[in-house]
């Protein structure tokens, strides 16, 4: 068995929050070790931005940038200052001991004086093969209207939004600024969204609703051309021509590996007890990005919390961390 790694700071994740935390930590001479995750069907190192073809709302990129390019540049900048990277998942942790212990899917074990959790969240998808393919290829399927909706691709088209909660209503209302029409597809005959969000969407003359309806297929080769729908009451199927699809049925934070080692919110996101701080319920363990942010879920806000987590970790380590 190889000798256990003994580290000052371990960062788990590889999206904007993780790489920003690594940049700040490395420049502070904390010699961070990043477990960037492994490749799977729904996640790759770099997180959700690896499935985003064009980013136009991140400051500093006036011509836009692909999600893949942005994440490669974030990683390269972190490595420039000495960040080390392991392309494995962390599958188990023990935060009840000091130093903390973490185990990877590759069988390695590491000790860390401080840990930053930045594993993000997975958008929930309908689960259709062509939905996933077009989402990854930039073919007009997305899980984030605020991220992608303003792109030229979606302008002046009929856009479908799947969902019935606040996120779906927010996406639908946002898309009324760009689409010729927004069609909300919901499996029930009433919405789950808050009253105010329902009212705004129902009163919009740019939004219409397809009630008691589910999507059974996403149509199109290089880009989406339509949806196959099924009426949940009658079973009748039909096709709807659309030029874009936003799936807004929620997100699942990547916290399964944590067990009960840190306090989570009721919705599964990591809790940060003090407002505007990244410290978790365990002293020396910090959280950044979408794994703790169930509200904004943007690349720029994730990067900001990554900075915050690194600064908090640095200060905690400098002020008697081992005596905590």
Q: Quickly count: other Cβ atoms within 10 Å of residue 82's Cβ.
A: 14
> What is the CA angle 212-246-293, rounded to 5?
110
The catalytically annotated residue of 89, 147, 171, 293 is: 147
CA distances from 278 to 270, 289, 307 (A): 10, 10, 10
Question: Which of 158, 159, 137, 142 lies closest to 222, judged by CA?
Answer: 137
What proportions of the chain, in percent to the nearest 5, are helix, strand and coil? 30, 25, 45
Q: Is 307 a catalytic residue?
A: no
Helices (runs of H) and strands (runs of E) counted in the chain: 7, 17
Query: Buried (b) or exposed (e) across 45-57, using 16+ Cβ within 10 A?
Result: bbbbbbbbbbbee
Question: Which of 163, 174, 187 lies closest to 57, judged by CA?
Answer: 174
- How far does Cα 99 stand from its chain's mean position? 29
CA distances from 100 to 110, 128, 202, 210 (A): 8, 40, 51, 51
**How far is Cα 5 from Cα 49, in angstroms, rounded to an integer?**
30
The catalytically annotated residue of 29, 73, 148, 231 is: 148
The catalytically annotated residue of 29, 89, 94, 144 is: 144
**How far is Cα 139 from Cα 285, in angstroms, rounded to an integer?**
39
Q: Is 144 a catalytic residue?
A: yes
Bin 111: left if φ > 0, else alpha if -120 < ψ < 50, else beta: beta
Sequence-ordered alpha helix ranges (H) in the chain: 16-27, 67-80, 129-137, 145-148, 166-175, 195-203, 299-318
Provide the sign of the torsion angle of the four alpha carbons 318, 34, 306, 71, taken in this order: positive
Q: Tell me the catalytic residues.
A: 144, 147-148
């Amino acid at each position: 068995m190889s000798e256990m790694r003994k580290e000052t700071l371990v960062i788990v994740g590889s999206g904007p929050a993780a790489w920003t935390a690594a940049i700040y930590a490395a420049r502070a001479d904390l010699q961070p070790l990043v477990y960037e995750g492994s490749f799977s069907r729904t996640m790759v190192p770099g997180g959700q931005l690896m499935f985003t073809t064009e980013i136009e709302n991140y400051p500093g990129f006036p011509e836009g940038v692909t999600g893949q390019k942005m994440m490669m540049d974030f990683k390269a900048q972190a490595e420039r200052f000495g960040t080390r990277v392991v392309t494995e998942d962390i599958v188990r942790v023990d935060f009840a001991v000091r130093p903390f212990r973490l185990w990877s899917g590759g069988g390695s074990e590491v000790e860390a004086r401080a840990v930053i959790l930045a594993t993000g969240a997975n958008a929930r998808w309908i689960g259709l093969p062509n939905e996933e393919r077009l989402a990854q290829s930039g073919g007009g399927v997305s899980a984030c209207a605020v991220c992608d909706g303003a792109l030229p691709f979606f302008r002046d088209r009929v856009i479908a939004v799947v969902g019935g909660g606040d996120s779906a209503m927010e996406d639908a209302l946002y898309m009324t600024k760009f689409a010729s029409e927004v069609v909300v597809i919901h499996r029930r005959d009433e919405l789950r969204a808050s009253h105010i969000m329902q009212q705004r969407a129902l009163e919009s003359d740019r939004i219409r609703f397809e009630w008691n309806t589910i999507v059974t297929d996403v149509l199109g080769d290089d880009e989406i051309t339509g949806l196959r729908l099924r009426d949940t009451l009658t079973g009748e199927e039909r096709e709807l021509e659309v030029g874009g699809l936003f799936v807004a049925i929620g997100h699942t934070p990547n916290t399964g590996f944590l067990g009960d080692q840190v306090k989570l919110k009721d919705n599964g996101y990591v809790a940060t007890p003090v407002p505007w701080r990244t410290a978790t319920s365990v002293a020396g363990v910090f959280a950044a990005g979408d794994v703790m942010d169930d509200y904004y879920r943007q690349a720029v806000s994730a990067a900001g919390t990554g900075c915050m987590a690194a600064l908090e970790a640095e200060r905690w380590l400098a002020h008697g961390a081992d005596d905590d």
